[in-house]
A and B are shown apart, each in its own frame.
Chain A
Amino acid sequence: MTDIMDQLTRLGVVKGTLSLRPKQPAKKTAYLDALQKTFPNGFIVENEYGPVFNNQVRMRLDNPHGLIDLRTSLEPNSLYCHITGFTDLNKSQLLAMDIETSGLSAEASAFVFMIGMGYFSDEEYIVDQLILSDLSAEKAFLRQIEITYAKFASLLTYNGRSFDQPMILNRVRFHRLPLRGFDIPNLDLLHVVRRFWKQDLPNCRLATVEKEILHVERGEEEVPGFMAPELYRAFLDSGDAESLRGVAYHNQIDVISLSAFLLHLNQVTREYNPESENNQRFQRMENVMNIRRMLSSPDPVDVEAFCTSNTFLNTNRRRIAEQLRVKGHLLESIRVLESLYEEGDCLAAEKLSLIYEQDQKDFDRALHWLMRSLELLDADATIGFWSRKGKMERLQKRLRSLNQKKDKENEQRQ
């Protein structure tokens, strides 16, 4: 044993705890060859930082992905544009992207070792899948991502805003690369799924969306995503890329599913009929859009739609009332709040009191509504002890301050 290791062993450093792991000498120069051997369709591209392996996969558009026909075009409709925030309907300008990494967080040692970038060309769907051939080849790998990004207008990701993009940017910063081309618009489908499909799905993972909505069945090559870091380490240790086959497949399907889901989203928004009672998914969104439209139009506001409990949630109605108040439609705001009060909404009464106090300086009415609010709070049998106590304290405090203001006003009058 060498001297330094001998000393460490005496100090209790245990050698060989992980020695059961098979140790094959890595064929270090041959990582690229190994990738080429496992992925014969792949090829090596070069940029100023060095070579990068691109395991490119092309598929014909007439093969459906689950239930989705990949030939479907993106067609304009306002709901779709509103949900996605994108008005560009050029299918070929969207780059679907998903990464595989060695770890989960922004830790210094976590890196991206695979990225799938899928896009529509005329006849085909193409996935440019870059695989990091070796840890020392990371700069070229990152530069190649930037080169690919440059050909597209926007990104399509799943949780890309919080994970994939920050992860890539972290590595760019780590290497102090002068690369600025990563900042392109990003349509993160996770947020869309959370908003409109959450109730229909057991969870919002991409695999679940794929199975439940797109009805895609994955092939036998599939390996679960959490195994990817271990399999990549196996590749580094052994110099044999066979372990990456399943990871590559998993990544490709993720990417295609992203593009397919976007087509599906466009389809359902197009077919959405607000009159139909069966389709409630976008109803609230439609309502919110209506509110915005109504509030931004210069025409007089018709608030009656907000004065019944059928269409809108009480929280939304209070929010509308507040919007109206801000816009200066004070009477309309009061009308909506009164309708809420009649249905027993304690907060609406409190809000009314506030409007009379602050906007109208009418302390009598403000007091009146504050008392109504207290009554409702008192009558509410469902509210918990501590929330009641908290609310009660707040209302009492307002009551005292209102009374003081009123007294002061009276004094001034005298």
Chain B
Amino acid sequence: MNANQTSPEKKAVPFAAEIAYHETVNAVDPSFTPIPAFISSETMASLSQNGINMLFRHQAEALIALHNNEHIILSTGTASGKSLVYQIQILEMINSSAFSTALLMFPTKALERDQVASLLKFIPNRREILGVYDGDTPSASKRIIRQNARILFTNPDMLHHGLLPYHPSWADFFANLKIVIIDEAHGYRGVFGAHTANVIRRLKRIVAHYQGHTNELKFILASATLSNAATHAKKMISAPVTEISRDFSGNGSREIYFLNPPIVNEELHLRAGSIHTAARMVKMMKDRQKQTLLFTQSRQSVETAVRRLRDLGIDVDGYRSGYLPSERRKIEKGLKEGAIKCVAATNALELGMDIGGMDTVISIGYPGTIASYYQRMGRAGRNLRPSEFYLVASQNPIDQYLIKHPEFIGQSRSEPALIDPDNLLILFQHLQCALFELPFKAGTGYGKLSPGATAEILDYFCEEGIAHRSNDHYYWSESDRPQREVSLRNSSLDRIAIYANDLPGRRNLIGEIDRPSSYWMIHEGAIYFHNGVGYKILELNLEENSALAENIVPSYTTDALKNTTITVNQIIEQRQVPNGKIYIAEITVQNQVTGFQKRDIETGQLLGIFPLDLPVESLETKAFIVRLSETLKKSLEEQALWTNNENDYGIHWEEIRKNILSRDRFACTVCGQPGTLKSLHVHHIVPFRRFSDIREANDEKNLTTLCPTCHHKVETTLRLRSGLSGFGHAFHQIAALFVECDANDIASHPDQADPDFDSAPVLYLYETIQGGIGLSQSIFKNFESILTAVEDLIQNCECEDGCPGCVGPAGELGIGGKSEALAIVQGLLVNQVGL
């Protein structure tokens, strides 16, 4: 590491932004080794024809482990040649046997197709033995694939719904299955991962049925860097796995910069927009002929970035989910071949698509996880050439925290992938699927279930009439497939197609979108951008899963207004804890897009609000709930550790407000937008809560007039942490760790005064899976242990006033919630006198 080296970049950057951090990662030479001698000469020849005569050391290590009959997980960086390892293994298999088969599992359809092309390079004349079997496979091809395919590319959903339940039709394939590849294994985390691990268990059962054992079945997992690769892999495939994680592929030198957009309003400490700053950076790269990849956080910001960049005269393409596969292929190819110089993308490009390396990668904001941060960075650097990586911070507190504490990244390890394949409800569901697929012999177990426990559940199935026991075997006897009821993913795969009416009388498919997002992205009247081209949505037809768009040059943008409500339907279990009560409850979370705002595309001025009548997205689930007692709240208030109450600006506020507005001539002091008494806001420059004296807070020097848009921008930088939300943030992370789920499988929702609980302060932690799968029960049961761990985390965190690792970061000027959160934790842990 070589900090503070002066480079041409560093000289140029200050014109666009403040450099908060700079680091030079020196080039590391790759470490090569000959292809192991046990690899057959046929395979060597295919490799050699493709210019491969040496391997990286980790690739050779992986092949040796496989040769020694070990299952492996390759957890090395982007573009470190993970695929080549399993491709060689497949070539070996094809060359040594005329019957053996291999199954390759990818989390997305796009990756399946990418990998087919990649493997085909080695065996150009064997197209007939490669088959892609997924939801897009036409029925007519399915039979042909069943009969011919020896190398099958699929995804876990298809394995679950379309392959395992029909295994007799695939009998020869399973009887000869020797290799299973699980690529992007880090993606199988949380509930989705637990489900997939059970699909693998069922796969192994079927292989054992046809082969008599699974001794010849080898698993090869490939994954982004994970802190628990071997453990994760072991849980995925229910067998020990050798971890190969030392990366010998080397890298070119890399300049890493953390940038803060320049301050545009000194008094309010308002910074320029991150997209705007990034766009200027891209312009700089373009002038220096560098191929640049710009990562943004959302689909909409991809479109915003594309428009900004085109305004600056930069030839740019967008890349995100929702683009047509043909558009995506074209962009990937363009990037790889260097024809396309600049792309703005979401994390859709973090995954393993083969696009080669970039000269420059710019990330707008911290992507949320360390793993994802390194994935993005890994896209920079082609063929060991020097590269640059820029993190452009937004006003988001996490970004601002990183700007102040860049060491956070270096000190943190990649997040572990957490799964619990033995979650009882998941086991219960997959036991039904497994029984449907093959009878159970009495005395055999499933997953973690002992033979006794398995038999109990199977007997229960018999009682319920869905199974039948005969001669020591249990058989499925219902005609319905249980697989139908078991969905691996939380999100539906339902997609809405967007058509443009630009050809009269004909519908032209421009893109697609998942159903839940359609409500807020392509509602009637919405302005939708697709690769920078503006469309107005004329109609959203949810019955036909289609939307009709009209190509326009928009003068305004739209923002959907969303409304979320949580209703407690029934308390299932409750118990007293010190200074509070905890519950498991059945709740309904309702999300509804109720309307949208039109804003001027240039000034962002609000042009009007329009109501919408869209269906309520309802999630019936279970929640774990903590309710703080009145005593605890009062005690915190007395110690000034409770900052959740609404501000009371005092009885003279209306008068003071009028004075300030007229002083500022009824115009926003930032953008100059004129307004009225009603439309304009009066803002406290130093937050109201910081003052103990109301008169000081309301001093005219501390007050300024802002329009709602600018006020929103300013407040984001100030976002105050409350103790309850800080506590919620830490508790959420630790609970996920304890019950081994992904943080996204649960959501936290603090409510300062919940009407369902007599206006007491309440923290909800609800499962985002329809119906819930027992995570709430688990948290309820382990509440004290989780709480102790949370206390430990907050107390031992070295940050001053909150960071992403504990209670979440405090706003730049705001007051932190660390001590408040800790007080809540301690209050709930011990029944102290005085609390």
The answer to whether A237 touches B468 (Cβ under 8 A) is: yes
For B19, the chain A residues whose CB sits under 8 A away are: none
Question: Does B665 reach chain A (CB closer than 8 Å)?
Answer: no
Question: Does B747 reach chain A (CB closer than 8 Å)?
Answer: no
For A110, the chain B residues whose CB sits under 8 A away are: 479
B137 to chain A, nearest CB (A): 16
The answer to whether A4 touches B471 (Cβ under 8 A) is: no
Given A4-B453, A8-B457, decide whether A107 and B166 contact each other with a Cβ distance below 8 A: yes
Given A4-B449, A176-B175, decide whether A23 and B437 contact each other with a Cβ distance below 8 A: no
**Separation of A13 and B466 alpha carbons in the complex (Å):** 14
A337 to chain B, nearest CB (A): 32
The answer to whether B777 touches A109 (Cβ under 8 A) is: no
For B192, the chain A residues whose CB sits under 8 A away are: none
The answer to whether A170 touches B463 (Cβ under 8 A) is: no
Question: Does A298 reach chain B (CB closer than 8 Å)?
Answer: no
Instruction: Pick the residue among B164, B171, B439, B777 that contacts A135 (CB under 8 A).
Output: B439
The answer to whether B457 touches A4 (Cβ under 8 A) is: yes
For A4, the chain B residues whose CB sits under 8 A away are: 424, 449, 453, 456-457
For B481, the chain A residues whose CB sits under 8 A away are: 107, 109
For A400, the chain B residues whose CB sits under 8 A away are: none
Q: How large is the interface on A (under 10, 10 to 19, 20 to 34, 35 or more residues)?
A: 35 or more
Question: Does B774 reach chain A (CB closer than 8 Å)?
Answer: yes
Interface segment, one of A14-22, A121-129, A350-358: A14-22
The answer to whether A7 touches B424 (Cβ under 8 A) is: yes
Question: Does B649 reach chain A (CB closer than 8 Å)?
Answer: no
The answer to whether B476 touches A134 (Cβ under 8 A) is: no
For B167, the chain A residues whose CB sits under 8 A away are: 108, 174
Give B573's nearest chain A residue, CB to CB: A10
For B165, the chain A residues whose CB sits under 8 A away are: 107-109
B163 to chain A, nearest CB (A): 10
Question: Does B266 reach chain A (CB closer than 8 Å)?
Answer: no
Question: Does B516 reach chain A (CB closer than 8 Å)?
Answer: no
Question: Does B475 reach chain A (CB closer than 8 Å)?
Answer: yes
A8 to chain B, nearest CB (A): 6
Within 8 A of B (CB), among A134-155: 134-136
The answer to whether B425 touches A11 (Cβ under 8 A) is: yes
The answer to whether A18 touches B465 (Cβ under 8 A) is: yes
For B470, the chain A residues whose CB sits under 8 A away are: 26, 28, 134-136, 236
Given A12-B771, A136-B470, decide whether A170 and B457 contact each other with a Cβ distance below 8 A: no
Instruction: Pick the residue among B168, B464, B465 that contacts A108 (CB under 8 A).
Output: B168
The answer to whether B428 touches A109 (Cβ under 8 A) is: no
**Separation of A360 and B460 alpha carbons in the complex (Å):** 78
Question: Does B473 reach chain A (CB closer than 8 Å)?
Answer: yes
The answer to whether B475 touches A135 (Cβ under 8 A) is: yes
Question: Does B656 reach chain A (CB closer than 8 Å)?
Answer: no
B512 to chain A, nearest CB (A): 24
Q: Report the number of A-B residue pairs with Cβ-Cβ less than 8 Å.
A: 106
B603 to chain A, nearest CB (A): 45
Given A4-B449, A18-B465, A233-B468, decide whether A106 and B473 contact each other with a Cβ distance below 8 A: no
Question: Does B436 reach chain A (CB closer than 8 Å)?
Answer: yes
Question: Does A51 reach chain B (CB closer than 8 Å)?
Answer: no
Question: Does A103 reach chain B (CB closer than 8 Å)?
Answer: yes
The answer to whether A233 touches B477 (Cβ under 8 A) is: yes
A54 to chain B, nearest CB (A): 20
For B210, the chain A residues whose CB sits under 8 A away are: 176
- Highest count of chain A CB atoms <10 Å: which of B438, B453, B473: B453
Question: Does B772 reach chain A (CB closer than 8 Å)?
Answer: yes
The answer to whether A237 touches B456 (Cβ under 8 A) is: no
Given A4-B449, A7-B424, A12-B772, decide whether A236 and B168 contact each other with a Cβ distance below 8 A: no
For A23, the chain B residues whose CB sits under 8 A away are: 463, 465
The answer to whether A135 touches B169 (Cβ under 8 A) is: no
The answer to whether A10 touches B456 (Cβ under 8 A) is: no
Instruction: Pick the residue among A107, A173, A386 that contacts B171 (CB under 8 A).
Output: A173
Instruction: Pick the residue among B424, B438, B464, B468 that contacts A18 (CB under 8 A).
Output: B464
Given A176-B171, A176-B175, A236-B477, decide whether A108 and B468 contact each other with a Cβ distance below 8 A: no
Question: Does A5 reach chain B (CB closer than 8 Å)?
Answer: yes
Question: Does A2 reach chain B (CB closer than 8 Å)?
Answer: yes
A240 to chain B, nearest CB (A): 15
For B453, the chain A residues whose CB sits under 8 A away are: 3-4
The answer to whether B436 touches A109 (Cβ under 8 A) is: yes
A389 to chain B, nearest CB (A): 9
For A176, the chain B residues whose CB sits under 8 A away are: 171, 175, 210
**Separation of A65 and B481 alpha carbons in the complex (Å):** 39
Question: Does A160 reach chain B (CB closer than 8 Å)?
Answer: no
Given A18-B464, A176-B171, decide whether A108 and B456 contact each other with a Cβ distance below 8 A: no
The answer to whether B168 touches A174 (Cβ under 8 A) is: yes
Given A8-B424, A134-B471, A236-B468, decide whether A102 and B477 contact each other with a Cβ distance below 8 A: yes
**Separation of A106 and B777 alpha carbons in the complex (Å):** 39
The answer to whether B464 touches A106 (Cβ under 8 A) is: no
For B172, the chain A residues whose CB sits under 8 A away are: 173
Question: Does A318 reach chain B (CB closer than 8 Å)?
Answer: no
Question: Does A264 reach chain B (CB closer than 8 Å)?
Answer: no
The answer to whether A170 touches B169 (Cβ under 8 A) is: yes
For B456, the chain A residues whose CB sits under 8 A away are: 2, 4-5
B418-457 Cβ-contact flags toward A at 8 Å (1 or 0): 0000001100100000001111000000000100010011
Within 8 A of A (CB), among B470-490: 470-471, 473, 475-477, 479, 481
Instruction: Pick the residue among A15, A237, A386 that contacts B460 (CB under 8 A).
Output: A15
Question: Does A171 reach chain B (CB closer than 8 Å)?
Answer: yes
Question: Does A116 reach chain B (CB closer than 8 Å)?
Answer: no
**Separation of A11 and B169 alpha carbons in the complex (Å):** 36
Question: Does A229 reach chain B (CB closer than 8 Å)?
Answer: yes
The answer to whether A229 touches B479 (Cβ under 8 A) is: yes
For A21, the chain B residues whose CB sits under 8 A away are: 465
Instruction: Pick the residue among B475, B479, B573, B774 that contacts A103 (CB under 8 A).
Output: B479
Give A176's nearest chain B residue, CB to CB: B210
A235-252 Cβ-contact flags toward B at 8 Å (1 or 0): 011000000000000000
A84 to chain B, nearest CB (A): 25
**Separation of A237 and B463 alpha carbons in the complex (Å):** 10
**Separation of A11 and B104 alpha carbons in the complex (Å):** 34
The answer to whether A106 touches B168 (Cβ under 8 A) is: yes
For A19, the chain B residues whose CB sits under 8 A away are: 463-464
For B468, the chain A residues whose CB sits under 8 A away are: 135, 233, 236-237
The answer to whether B457 touches A11 (Cβ under 8 A) is: no
- Highest count of chain B CB atoms <10 Å: which of A3, A28, A173: A173
Within 8 A of A (CB), among B314-339: none
For A11, the chain B residues whose CB sits under 8 A away are: 424-425, 428, 773-774, 777
Q: List 24 A-B contacts (CB under 8 A).
A: A2-B456, A3-B453, A4-B457, A11-B425, A11-B774, A12-B622, A12-B772, A18-B465, A21-B465, A23-B463, A23-B465, A28-B471, A106-B168, A108-B437, A110-B479, A135-B439, A135-B468, A135-B473, A173-B168, A173-B171, A173-B172, A176-B210, A233-B468, A233-B477
- Which residues of A are at the interface with B, using a C-beta cutoff of 8 A? 2-5, 7-8, 10-13, 15-19, 21, 23, 26, 28, 102-110, 134-136, 170-171, 173-174, 176, 229, 233, 236-237, 385-386
In the A-B complex, the 5 residue pairs with the closest CB atoms: A173-B171, A136-B471, A170-B168, A174-B168, A4-B453
